[in-house]
Amino acid sequence: LIMVQAGAGTDATIDSLVPHLDQGDIIIDGGNAYFPDTQRRSKELEAKGFRFIGTGVSGGEEGALKGPSIMPGGQKSAYELVEPILTAISAKVGEDACCTYIGPDGAGHYVKMVHNGIEYGDMQLICEAYDLLQNVLGVTTEEL
């Protein structure tokens, strides 16, 4: 499981791992990769006999402490092998793990990209509402 900065850092980390892996080993990328990069990596690694899971991970600092939401994508057979590990470390709602197989190559990172877009849109909406309440309606911070 690697979690490094997306882009060249991910490629460099994978390149440094490959010589130490056995055929059939699974690499899980939990970074914030762009899904076409995940698709490319999956094809390249599969051609070399490895399996690759691109996994969206969400939760920030709280997720790091209490368990993140995990969105794995890639070969279903590879996911099934690591599912017990991913569900064990994921956040829980009641007894249910916040981890589910999203789909084939790139799907996990694609869903994470959509998740980020929604999250950033929500944050912008909150900022604009706060600004309007303070600067147009004169509501104080204490009142908010």
Helix H or strand E segment including 44? helix 35-47
pLDDT of res. 27: 98
pLDDT of res. 61: 84
Q: Tell me the C-alpha distance between 100 and 21, whole Å.
A: 26
Answer for the pair 79, 104: CB distance below 8 angstroms, yes or no.
no
What is the average per-residue pLDDT within 115-134? 96
83 given a catalytic annotation:
no
Q: Tell me the C-alpha distance between 53 and 75, whole Å.
A: 7
Q: Tell me the C-alpha distance between 70 and 90, whole Å.
A: 6
DSSP 77-99: HHHHHHHHHHHHHS-EETTEESB
Answer for the pair 55, 85: CB distance below 8 angstroms, yes or no.
no
Active-site entry in 112, 128, 142, 143 = 112
In the chain, % of residues over pLDDT 70: 100
Which domains does the chain possess?
8-109 (3.40.50.720)
Answer for the pair 39, 105: CB distance below 8 angstroms, yes or no.
yes
112 given a catalytic annotation:
yes
Active-site entry in 43, 76, 92, 119 = 119
Q: Can you count the helices (H) and strands (E) in the chain? A: 5, 5
Q: How confident is the model at residue 64 (pLDDT cuts 50, 70, 90)?
A: confident
